[in-house]
Amino acid sequence: MSRKDLEKGSKWIVQETTCLNELIIAEGASITAPEGYSVTMTVDGVNKPIVSGKYQGEVILNVTENLMIDSNVFKTAVYVENGKVVPEKSVLAFAIGGEVTDTYAKNITLTSEEEAVNGIYITGDCEYSIDNATITMTGNGGNDFVGCGAGILANGNAKVTVNKAKIKTHGAVRTAIFAGEHSMLTVNDSSIEVLDGKLPDDYTFTIEPGKMKEVPWMLGLSGNCRATNAVAYSTVRYNNTHIKAQKWGCLSTDAVDCCRLYATNCLIETVESGYGAYTISDCQGYFSGCTFNINDYALVIASESYGTFTDGCVVNSERFGVMIHGGTGGGALTINKGSVFNTKKAVVLVKERGGNIIVEDAELNSESGIVLLAMESDDPILRAIARGEGLPPGFPLPPDKDGAEGEINEAWTTGKTEDAPKKEPPVFSTNLEASFKNVNLKGDFINSMTKRGDVILSFENAIITGAITTGISEPIDGEPTQETYYMIGEVENTYCSTDDEYGIKVSLDGKSTWRVDKTSYLNRISIAADSSIIAADGKTLTVTVNGAPTSIQAGETYEGKIVLTVK
């Protein structure tokens, strides 16, 4: 062991891993590695940034071969490729305690205070397990579209199992869990927490994949660190795990080719702003027996992706339950098997697109009294694209690869592999079809996107108390901007008839009852024998069809301008 004192302005190119007991770095001095290599400092087993200061103890300057992905240089404590730990690309000096082998890591502690450094990186054709790891990462990440700076990163065809881990990160895009390429990553009985960091002083807002370091404000969210990001063809499974994000989101997918996201018996939470999960493109999110305590959305479904809440999921949201946006339609939302949604705003918010919703044996509770709102988009990018208006001023040109959480990526859908030719995006119906079975629902169903598509509702063994109607949704406080991002989705609804091409259509089976408590405007009602449409308690109901007073009868179908007036 020895001492090294770097004077002001001096430059030290460290040729090989060097151990010291004291290192002094003056202001303006620098430490680098030879070309093609990186240098990483550890002090008593903790990864430290190489900045001016005095360091004492076991000071190691670790020289490793560059690990490059998409122009990003990765530095990581443990690098495993094709079933082998690669010491030349690993900074094992901050994988302390426990044991690291070619097939597993047990009881290790990883602490990084340097930006954009990874904890454990597994890639290639291999299976690897990580047991009882404690990973603490402080400082911003690099690029969360490739996992630069993630606590655990799986790539290639790796199958990684994480058991009883404690992972905490604090920094912009300092993702806890990242899965890319064709990897499969399973996390069991673990605790994941991510905290926001400070964005670089020269950072300007962008939604370009690889450069984006904060959630797109057009989602109505804030924050700069998501706990999970799954991309490409990866699969992530969480079991009995607590996932917590200060802002942005807990379970994210982006730049998707074909991703799968599963959570079973998990606690999923945001603290100040954010979503529980985000699915996009060819992605399915499946949540079984989970509890969501969320500020904004339990799930955002973008483009033709899918989301399922089943086996008694409980969603507690300070705003919405699920938002469906981006693209023209496709995909589906399923809520069933005793799942319960408790929201302050609409349970389901759909923006200017079609899709499918299936609800069976579930509870949907909204303090605002709105079960379903289908409205025109207040997202400036997606709205402009949906209407063929091009990008609003100030937004970047489309990137080459899908990404940025349903913003530019789904506007310009490209081929699903890097070398595939570009193709036109799929075309889906702009109608929103929703079925409700074995439910007792209190709240309204509104279609205010009547220039875009129908809302088609079917009820089976259902009791509905509320309005089912067309209407107009207007921003509460003017068009939302980046400064007023939190007003995204905040609208005032006026119930009225429409002269637009589309409207709202309803069918009731013989075991269903609609108790109308507000005047409603529809375009079609199909009433099965033994079903009923009645006024809510204490109110009276009259019906007109195309202006003519009508006594509606079970077993009949009515079309045209239908008004159910409640007094």
Q: What is the DSSP string of 526-564?
A: EE-TT-EEEEPTT--EEEEETTEE----TT-EEEEEEEE
- The C-alpha torsion from 33 through 34 and 35 to 40, rounded to 10°, is -20
Is residue 417 one of the residues assigned to a domain?
no
Average pLDDT over residues 393-412: 45
Whether 16 and 81 map to the same domain: the answer is no
Helix, strand or coil for residue 385?
Answer: helix
Task: Over range 126-133, report the average pLDDT.
Answer: 99
Residue 397 has pLDDT above 70, yes or no: no
* Same domain for 79 and 51: no
Domain boundary among 273, 295, 317: 295
CA distance 380 to 387: 11
Q: Return the pLDDT at 425.
A: 61
Q: Residue 535: what pLDDT?
A: 98
User: In this structure, is residue 558 part of a structural domain?
Assistant: yes
Closest CA to 351 of 397, 402, 407: 407
Q: Look at residues 468, 403, 394, 402 and name the one whose alpha carbon lies nearest to residue 436.
A: 468
Q: Which of 64, 99, 114 is the last residue of a domain?
A: 64
State yes or no: pLDDT of 96 exceeds 90.
yes
Residue 236 has φ and ψ, to the nearest 5°, of -125, 130
pLDDT of residue 416: 33
pLDDT value at residue 395: 63
Note the pLDDT of residue 418. 37
Instruction: Domain count for the chain, please give it.
Output: 3
Q: Which of 109-123, 258-272, 326-340, 397-411 has the lowest mean pLDDT?
A: 397-411
pLDDT of res. 409: 39
Supply the pLDDT for residue 388: 73
Do 556 and 445 lie in one domain? The reply is yes
Q: Give pairs for 292-298: CB < 8 Å, separation 24+.
A: 292/268, 292/316, 292/317, 293/267, 293/268, 293/269, 294/268, 294/269, 294/270, 294/318, 295/270, 295/271, 295/319, 296/219, 296/220, 296/221, 296/270, 296/320, 297/321, 297/322, 297/323, 298/268, 298/322, 298/341
Mean pLDDT, to the nearest integer, of 181-191? 99
State the pLDDT confidence band at 381, using cuts at 50, 70 and 90: confident
Residue 532 lies in a domain: yes
- The HSE-up count of residue 329 (CA atoms within 13 Å, CB side) is 18
511 found inside a domain: yes
Please tell me the distance from the alpha carbon of residue 143 to that of residue 74, in angstroms, as a whole number: 10
Do 102 and 231 belong to one domain?
yes
What pTM does this model have? 0.94
Residue 71 is predicted with a pLDDT of 86
Same domain, 460 and 507: yes
Q: Does residue 86 sit in the same domain as residue 57?
A: no
CA distance 113 to 283: 34
Q: What secondary structure letter does DSSP report for 200?
A: P
Q: How far is CA 167 from the centre of its chain?
A: 19
The H or E element spanning position 410 is helix 408-411
**DSSP H/E element including 384:** helix 380-386
How far apart (Å, rounded) are the C-alpha atoms in residues 519 and 567?
A: 8
Tokens of 211: 């450069």
- Answer with the one of 264, 295, 326 that is the final residue of a domain: 295
The string of pLDDT tens digits covering residues 189-218 is 999 999 999 999 999 999 889 999 999 999
Helix boundaries (H) for 97-203:
none
Secondary-structure percent of the chain, ordered helix, strand, coil, rounded to 5: 5, 50, 45
Note whether residue 398 is domain-resident.
no
Print the domain residue range for 157: 70-295
User: Across-strand partners of 509?
Assistant: none
Considering just the CA atoms, what is the radius of gyration of the chain in Å? 27
pLDDT tens digits, one per residue of 10-54: 999 999 999 999 999 999 999 999 999 999 999 999 999 999 999
Which whole number is the average pLDDT over 163-171? Answer: 99
Q: What pLDDT does residue 411 have?
A: 29
555 inside domain: yes
Query: How confident is the model over 307-343, as pLDDT tens digits?
Result: 999 999 999 999 999 999 998 899 999 999 999 999 9
Task: Let me know if residue 152 belongs to a domain.
Answer: yes
Pair 51, 90 in one domain = no
Length of the chain (residues): 567
Of the pLDDT bands very low, low, confident and very high (cuts 50, 70, 90), residue 70 is confident
Average pLDDT, the chain: 94
The pLDDT confidence band at residue 1, using thresholds 50, 70 and 90, is low
Any idea which of 94-103, 410-419, 446-455, 497-506 has the lowest mean pLDDT?
A: 410-419
CA distance 111 to 173: 17
Domain co-membership, 253 together with 275: yes
Whether residue 249 is found in the same domain as residue 141: yes
pLDDT confidence bin for 393, thresholds 50/70/90: low
Is residue 396 predicted with pLDDT exceeding 70? no
pLDDT tens digits for 508-554? 999 999 999 999 999 999 999 999 999 999 999 999 999 999 999 99
**pLDDT tier at 453 (50, 70, 90 boundaries)?**
very high
85 with 55, same domain: the answer is no
Phi-psi domain of 21 (left: phi exceeds 0; alpha: psi -120 through 50; beta: other): alpha
Question: Which pLDDT score, from 0 to 100, does residue 407 have?
Answer: 44
Residue 426: which pLDDT band, with cuts at 50, 70 and 90? confident
- Based on the domain organization, do 179 and 286 belong to the same domain? yes
CA–CA distance, 305 with 182 (Å, rounded to integer): 18
**Per-residue confidence (pLDDT) for residue 455, from 0 to 100:** 99
Q: Are both 274 and 155 inside the same structural domain?
A: yes
